[in-house]
Chains A and B, each alone.
Chain A
Amino acid sequence: MKTDATAQPGTGAVMVVGGGIAGAQAALDLAGSGFYVYLVEKSPSIGGVMAQLDKTFPTNDCSMCILSPKLVECGRHLNIKLITMADVQAIEGDAGAFTVTVRERPRYVDMEKCIACGVCAEKCPKKVEDAFNQGLGPRKAAYVLYPQAVPLKYVIDEENCIYFQKGKCRACEKFCPAGAVDFNQKEKVHKLDVGSVILAPGFKPFDPGMYDVYGYGVHKNVITSMEFERILSPSGPYQGHMVRPSDKGECRKIAWLQCVGSRDMQLGAHEYCSGVCCTYAIKQAVIAREHAKGEVDASIFYMDMRTYGKDFERYRNRAEGENGVRFIRSRVHSIETAAPGSDDLKIEYMDADGNMQNEVFDLVVLSVGLEAPADMADLAARLDVRLNGSGFAETSAFAPAATSRPGIFACGAFTGPCDIPSSVMGASAASNACAVLLSGARGKLTHEKTYPPEAPVAGDAPRIGVFVCHCGVNIGSVVDVPSVRDYAKGLPGVAYVADNMFTCSQDTQKLIREAIAEHKLNRVVVAACTPRTHEPLFQETIREAGLNGYLFEMANIRDHDSWVHQSEPEKATAKAKDLVRMAVAKVALLEPVAKMRAELDHSAMVVGGGVAGMVAALGLADQGFKTHLIERTDRLGGSALNIRRSWNGEDAQAYVKGLCDRVAAHPEIEVHTGAKITSVAGSVGHFTTVVESVGGAKELEHGLAIIATGAKAYEPTEYLYGKSPLVTRWHGVEDLLESDPRRVDAMQAAAFIQCVGSREPERPYCSKVCCTASVRQAILLKERKPEMDVYILYRDLRTYGLREELYTQARRLGVMFVRFPDNEKPVVESISENGRERLAITVKDHVLGAPVRLTVDLLNLATAIVPEGAKELAQLFKVPLNDDGFFLEAHMKLRPVDFATDGVFVCGLAHYPKPLEEAISQAQAAAARAAAILARPYIEVEPIVSTINSDLCTGCGLCEKSCPYGAIRRREVIGRGWVAETVTALCKGCGVCAAACPQRAIDIVHFRNDQLMVAIRAGGAATPS
């Protein structure tokens, strides 16, 4: 993948095409690691489809809440230039030195002048269908894409504007208080020099109009899942009221129909599985039940429930068990009006036992699939990028981010249907590929951020600004926000209060900065969501206004209040007031804190020498960062040594060998095999890790670590495994085809059993890759010997995404698929036939509804993938595991390779079972995230550390003994004895010493004793009624 980057440094800028979550992530990764980024978006604002979603699975996070900070960061980043309403026309040149022609359409609103007051939209007489709301409501011809849009600038829709169509009107221009409307704007063409390009144009939801059976466009209450997202959204067309389009009546009975436009061979539909619809339908059903406080029946009609991702299976089980969602395995035959004149709909379907049934619903949601946008083919042709048969970018399993044209990379749904974490991972992977290509040009075109000088606040009486967030309806529907705002006004030291629809949106950030200047605020409280995600954003905002970032406090009135006290609005409001009072009391005593820098060891450690570990190591070493690769066994390669081919048939062995050779020969990689980590000290920027191997123990210094320790296949006790030589697992069939094909030729029948050890009470997760592995091996058997009977015994067939084509091929070749019920496992017996051992499998067939007996010569088990050695490593690096023993990332959706602990990352099977191409993508992503740290000259350390009052200190040494980091040492002072001192660089600010000190001589910056005490006292005071 690496080109001759050292010889030709290339251009230190990258163009990212598409401003959805994938594009935004790629832009942030690159801008954060020393590259200038042009983010080109065709619509008026970035955000993409994720901005249209109400919630995200499997955590039910509010989509806008987690996306908005990223968008705001893109919008305000010094090294990201947003070019909206723009298309890429052509890319000339070669990798490292492209010239891109970008056409920017006129917005007819001057972005410099627009203050997003909305007067233009209010005065605009022309109503049009709002595409952002899926046409469920109107917008004006002068509009903003959505309320939290970045950039938050209005736009005039030329196609619908009365002035443009009829030559008269210009109401917007007349009323705009800022004089921002400019009908003379013309199209602009930019020629931009960049080193590489990332394509992240996203997908288009499938249009179900082609199907007669569903009656979409005929029946008003048959809608798509995207429409339903907008219905659920508080900023959607119905303000979050769950009503149906025909009569705006409350929904009481909703059906979801799966695989609409996916897994369908009809012309116009797609053969592939869209991969995300099962889980998003579950999410919608759960949220619908929640919205209606359980007073709605939610039913999902499906073929196979494909909940194959991390925590998806649990999500499904909870939906059925706790949330009461009905799952109906079926084939839908038709949807008709329930009765003449009725808006209700009757669904006719065939159930799992083959009987025709019907049921009436008042809303039907079509779980539409994902497809490549229509203009994608043109773009690809213009840019000379090859697409595959499904219309997505053609990529190799071993270079999942690379397109057919060197220097042009792809991520997100452009590489095939995928969910948000995969898009984010793919985006980071693509940015890693760019960084490797352009490492010689790093920092050449970027600018440094400077803040205005900080206003001194010492000695000034507090002037506190309190901003209370509605968070759409997330807070506002439970907590009485205006009442909290008014209450805050009366608190001591409060000089200004405001309430905001979305406090995290870009326009509110501006309002906060303006309020600080106008009202001379010296401290700020935001009552909104959690400081764990949003504190950095607000701290940045107040720094831009000349306040030290630490003169800030958050009151979490959403996660800890409105969301958990949904049925007690008054008490939740009282609680919000208490929390605000505590925050105001604390912020009044907070002091400015200066950021500190710590030394950075510009090297990495990768733990685990499988494919993920090797790819991550190369992803860093190719950028010139020294990397230690630690492998437990004597050999590199890991689980991939057992894989012969990727799902799409590429030679995995040749790839792994190539990888091992490159790693071994790489000057920046030091490989430690037969090595075990026994201790880890330090933190981001400087770790000291002891590695033991045959040669003895070594102390290695490194700036950060990537955990890629993999997983292993479960060794089953069931189905005669280990008892009969005819029972194998995982790659057993492939191995046999390689080692003894004649034995295969002599076989009459073979079977596969799926979910062995997976999706069981003790291991309630799906191992994700087993269905594809078995189907692929079944095809190999059929290709070798077409007359052989090959059976796959399964529960749900989960050949997700483009892998569905293997399932189709297997059925075409005559592989027989037998679905067995969860509670009736197949029974395997060893029998003797003419002195030859065979296996008799008894399984209940779902079509016949009766047990069938299969006699086979080979049984291959798809056993669960289980974590290995994760527990010890988790404790050494102080990172968490999930309930299944896989490493738990910082955020399931948007930080899929980071840990909450800075400087430690995860990739590969250690994170969750996944196929080779996803492990590679995730490894590249981890390398990208790690490189963003290593690319800086030093680490900016959180200055929350201990301080010791040496006048009070008696030198007893308790603090020194208590500190787990050795961050306190005693020094002898002549005439005084011993005095304790903090070693600031080592201090992590836990506060154990402060709470222990017998003299109470120690305090913790930003969590000082008096600061905590006033908050406690404020909280304990009587709650206002």
Chain B
Amino acid sequence: MSDAFAPKMLAFLCNWCSYAGADLAGVSRFQYPPTIRVLRTMCSGRVDPLHMIEGLKSGFDGVLVFGCHIGDCHYIDGNYFTMTRVAVVRRLLEVSGVGSERLQLRWVSAAEGQIFAEYVKELSATVEALGPFEHERYAFELAAIEHALETPRLRWLTGMERQLTAHENVFHERLDSEQYKRVLMDAVEMEYHKSAILQALKKGPLVVREMASITKIPVQTVAQRVEDLEKSGRIDFCGYDGTAPRFMSAAA
């Protein structure tokens, strides 16, 4: 609690509820620490997972996403998408070792000035306890996360959650929400691994053990992902290092 470190956090506020709630906190003079820098969007559903990661890449110690309460969204259900996206990015932060606590999601209504102030206090303390975020140290992981978030697979799975679990698929079936979440989270992990390997290969050809050491992913897992990547033509075999096969990025 010394004044040595005060976090700086990016706060996405949706125009209709949370921004209004933050305004109300101001009008009511509810004091909170000067830790957030606000970016207003019309809906929290505008916030792309890549925007959240950009926050961490740019020097913020944490990223907060605020939206309307579920059911209150000015755009009907934009915040459901936000919920899934934040869960996906948090999972990526977790598997990459960056730590999921640096991304937080909270619901604040236009009438909840005090609650907004309380959340900022709470989350400032959370991020303060984590200490400054050294984004250069995590440059590799952040690049891999970003790559994973750009993959059509993750974007599709993230975007379709609402359609498939609340509405229906093309066979008029509604999927079980918990089951879908498991599928999604497994995909997140897998895409991160693949992205991390591709990221590692950017600097030149590597053997599996080297990839594992750079990506901090277990050798066994790397070997499996390398097989996937080779099958899908993303990486190519390019010779041996002793008995170990060496791979290079297909694009390179």
Contact = CB atoms under 8 A, between A and B. Distances in A.
B19 A996 contact: no
B106 to A, nearest CB: 16
A998 B156 contact: yes
A558 interface: yes
A992 B150 contact: no
Interface stretch (A113-121, A404-412, A1012-1020): A1012-1020
A390 interface: no
Interface string B145-168: 000001011011011101100010
Given A579-B37, A991-B42, A1017-B54, A1023 B27 contact: no
A479 to B, nearest CB: 10
B56 to A, nearest CB: 8
A1007 B109 contact: no
A1025 to B, nearest CB: 13
A564 B29 contact: yes
A958 B29 contact: no
B43 interface: yes
A60 B39 contact: no
B87 to A, nearest CB: 14
A60 B162 contact: no
Interface stretch (A187-195, A274-282, A878-886): A878-886
A282 to B, nearest CB: 14
Please indicate which of the listed interface residues B37, B45, B160 has the most CB atoms of chain A within 10 Å of its own CB: B37
A935 B159 CA distance: 41
Contacts of B217: none
Contact of B45 (A956, A990, A997): A990
A882 B111 contact: yes
A532 B15 contact: yes
A997 B10 CA distance: 23
B32 A999 contact: no
A882 B109 CA distance: 10
Given A578-B37, A990-B75, A1000 B150 contact: yes
B163 A962 contact: yes
Given A878-B74, A962-B159, A1019-B58, A567 B45 contact: no
B137 to A, nearest CB: 15
Contacts of B60: 1019-1020
A483 to B, nearest CB: 15
Contacts of A962: 81, 159, 162-163
B30 A564 contact: yes
B49 interface: yes
B85 interface: yes
B16 interface: yes
Nearest to A571: B34
A630 interface: no
Contacts of B110: 880, 888, 900
B58 A1016 contact: yes
B40 interface: yes
Contacts of B75: 964-965, 988, 990, 992
Interface in A719-771: none
A61 interface: yes
B42 A1016 contact: no
Contact of B31 (A567, A944, A998, A1009): A567
B31 A566 contact: yes
Contact of A1009 (B36, B45, B48, B117): B48
B46 A1004 contact: yes
Contact of B81 (A582, A995, A1009, A1013): A995
B29 A290 contact: yes
Interface string B8-43: 101000011101101111111111111011111111
Interface string B133-152: 00000000000000000101
Contact of B155 (A883, A888, A961, A997): A997
A284 to B, nearest CB: 15
Interface residues of B, number: 66
Contacts of A880: 17, 72, 109-111
Nearest to A960: B163
Nearest to A881: B111
B8 to A, nearest CB: 7
A59 B26 CA distance: 10
Given A59-B28, A880-B110, A994 B48 contact: yes
A1012 B13 CA distance: 13
Interface in A560-589: 560-561, 563-568, 571-572, 574-575, 578-579, 582
B54 A60 contact: no
A560 B23 contact: yes
B51 A1013 contact: yes
B29 A530 contact: no
A531 interface: yes
B38 A60 contact: no
Contacts of B51: 995, 1012-1013, 1016
A875 B71 contact: yes
Contacts of B15: 532
B77 interface: yes
Contacts of B16: 900
A60 B31 contact: no
Contact of B37 (A59, A60, A575): A575
B159 A1016 contact: no
B205 interface: no
A10 interface: no
A1007 B54 contact: no
A559 interface: yes
A850 interface: no
Nearest to B154: A998
A1021 B72 contact: no
Nearest to B19: A532
Interface in A504-561: 530-532, 556, 558-561
A994 B47 CA distance: 9
Interface string A34-72: 000000000000000000000000011100000000000
A504 B205 CA distance: 61
Contact of B163 (A878, A882, A961): A961
Contacts of A61: 27
A560 B18 CA distance: 12
A998 B152 contact: yes
Nearest to A956: B156
Nearest to B37: A1019
B157 to A, nearest CB: 9
B43 A990 contact: yes
B243 to A, nearest CB: 40
A1020 B10 contact: yes
Contacts of A999: 152
Nearest to B45: A992
A565 B31 contact: yes
A1019 B20 CA distance: 21
B4 interface: no
Contacts of B57: 1020
Interface in A964-1022: 964-965, 988-992, 994-1000, 1004, 1007, 1009, 1012-1013, 1015-1017, 1019-1022
Nearest to B164: A961
B41 A1007 contact: yes
B26 A563 contact: yes
Interface in B216-251: none
A582 B13 CA distance: 14
Interface in A357-392: none
Nearest to A563: B26
14 contacts: A60-B28, A956-B152, A962-B81, A962-B159, A989-B42, A990-B46, A990-B75, A992-B43, A995-B85, A1012-B39, A1015-B39, A1016-B51, A1019-B10, A1020-B54
Given A992-B78, A1020-B60, A1023-B8, 5 more contacts: A290-B29, A961-B163, A1007-B46, A1016-B39, A1019-B58
Interface of A: 59-61, 290, 530-532, 556, 558-561, 563-568, 571-572, 574-575, 578-579, 582, 875, 878, 880, 882-883, 888, 900-901, 944, 956, 958, 961-962, 964-965, 988-992, 994-1000, 1004, 1007, 1009, 1012-1013, 1015-1017, 1019-1023
